[in-house]
C-alpha cells in the first residue's frame, strides 16, 4: 500500500469525521505481523510503540492528522523490515464532551481529558515543576527545553497520570517520539485503570479479524510498557 493509499484509507474511515456523538472519539493503533494475520488480536497488546512509554497505560494515535502521520510511519517501517501491518480503530466514551479540554494548569484537576499540545509551554514548565520529580529538573529553565523534554521523555508523565490530582484522567494527549518514526507523533494515552472507557474496536483493513477488549491483568501491569513494545516489534529486529 503506497503512502497516498494509506492517507486515503485514513480519510475514508476516520471515525471522528463520521461520529460527532457527544463525549465520544475514535483512536487508532497498528499491529505488525509476518505471514497470516491472527484471527483474534488483543487490543491490550497493540499499544503504539513508543521509545519511552508511560507505565501502566495504553498509547495510541490521536487526531486525524496524527493518525495519517502514524499510518505513513507504520507503512515505511513495515516495508523496511519486510512486515505487514493492520490498523485497529477503537471507540472511547467520556462523561463530558470531548471538545471541553482545559488549557490552563489550574483547570487540569478532576478532568477526563488533558491535551498537552494545547497547554501553553509556560504551563508545561509549571506542570513539570509541580508533579515530576526528576534529577534533571534544572534543565527546564525555559519553555523550549520543557517541550523538548516532554517529546523525548514522555515516560516522565507517569508521575502526572498516576497522581491523585489526576485520578479521573482517562486520556492524556501529547507529542512523543516513537520507535518507528524519527518525527514526534500525536499520542493519546489511556491509563490502564480506565480501560473500560474503550467500548469497541475493529480491524480496519481486515474486518474478519476480531479485536479482543480483554483488560490488562495483574501480570500485564507487572510487565513494563517498554517490554510490551519490544515484544510488539521484536519480530522486525530479526530483519535488521
**Model confidence at 111, in pLDDT bands (50, 70, 90)?**
confident
Predicted TM-score (pTM) of this structure = 0.80
Q: Is residue 154 part of a domain?
A: no
Residue 12's domain comprises 3-96+180-237
pLDDT per residue as tens digits for the range 7-46: 344 444 454 544 445 689 999 999 999 999 999 999 999 9
Per the structure, how many domains does the chain have? 1
pLDDT in tens, 68-101: 999 999 999 999 999 999 999 999 999 877 766 6
Give a three-class secondary structure readout of the chain. Answer: CCHHHHHHHHHHHCHHHHCCCCCEEEEEEEEEECCCCCCEEEHHHCCCCECCCCCCEEEEECCHHHHHHHHHHHHHHHHHCCCEEEEEEEEEECCCCCCCCCCCHHHCCCCCEEECCCCCHHHHHHHHHHHCCCCCHHHCCCHHHHHHHHHHCHHHHHHHHCCHHHCCCCEEEEEEEECCEEEEEEEEEEEHHHHHHEEEEEECCCCCCEEECCCCCHHHHHCCHHHHHHHHHHHHHCCC
Q: What is the pLDDT of residue 3?
A: 47
Question: Does 130 reside within a domain?
Answer: no
Give a yes or no: residue 152 inside a domain.
Answer: no
pLDDT at 2: 46
Mean pLDDT of the chain: 80
204 in a structural domain: yes
Query: Which one, of 50, 36, 32, lies nearest residue 88 by Cα?
Result: 32
Domain-located, residue 168: no
pLDDT tens track for 180-209: 998 999 999 999 999 999 999 999 999 999
Tell whether 35 is covered by a domain: yes
Residue 73 lies in a domain: yes
For residues 51 and 179, is the Cβ–Cβ distance under 8 A?
Answer: yes
Instruction: Answer whether residue 220 is part of any domain.
Output: yes
Amino acid at each position: 500500500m503506497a503512502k497516498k493509499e494509506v492517507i486515503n484509507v485514513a480519510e475514508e474511515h476516520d471515525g471522528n469525521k463520521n461520529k460527532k456523538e457527544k463525549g465520544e472519539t475514535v483512536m487508532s493503533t497498528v499491529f505488525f505481523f509476518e505471514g497470516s494475520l491472527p484471527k483474534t488480536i488483543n487490543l491490550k497488546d497493540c499499544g503504539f510503540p513508543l521509545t519511552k512509554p508511560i507505565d501502566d497505560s495504553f498509547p495510541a494515535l490521536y487526531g486525524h492528522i496524527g493518525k495519517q502521520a502514524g499510518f505513513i510511519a507504520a507503512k515505511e517501517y513495515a516495508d523496511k523490515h519486510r512486515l505487514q501491518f493492520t490498523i485497529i480503530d477503537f471507540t472511547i466514551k467520556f462523561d463530558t464532551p470531548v471538545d471541553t479540554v482545559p488549557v490552563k494548569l489550574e483547570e487540569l484537576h478532576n478532568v477526563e481529558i488533558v491535551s498537552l499540545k494545547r497547554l501553553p509551554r509556560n504551563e508545561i514548565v509549571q506542570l513539570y515543576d509541580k508533579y515530576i520529580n526528576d534529577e534533571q529538573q534544572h534543565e527546564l529553565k525555559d519553555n523550549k527545553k520543557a517541550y523538548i523534554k516532554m517529546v523525548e521523555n514522555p515516560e516522565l508523565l507517569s508521575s502526572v497520570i498516576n497522581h491523585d490530582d489526576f485520578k479521573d484522567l482517562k486520556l492524556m494527549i501529547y507529542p512523543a517520539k516513537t520507535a518507528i518514526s524519527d518525527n514526534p507523533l500525536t499520542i493519546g494515552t489511556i491509563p490502564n485503570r480506565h480501560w473500560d472507557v474503550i467500548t469497541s474496536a475493529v480491524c480496519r483493513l481486515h474486518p474478519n479479524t476480531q479485536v479482543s477488549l480483554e483488560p490488562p491483568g495483574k501480570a500485564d501491569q507487572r510487565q513494563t510498557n517498554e517490554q510490551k513494545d519490544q515484544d510488539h516489534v521484536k519480530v522486525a529486529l530479526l530483519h535488521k
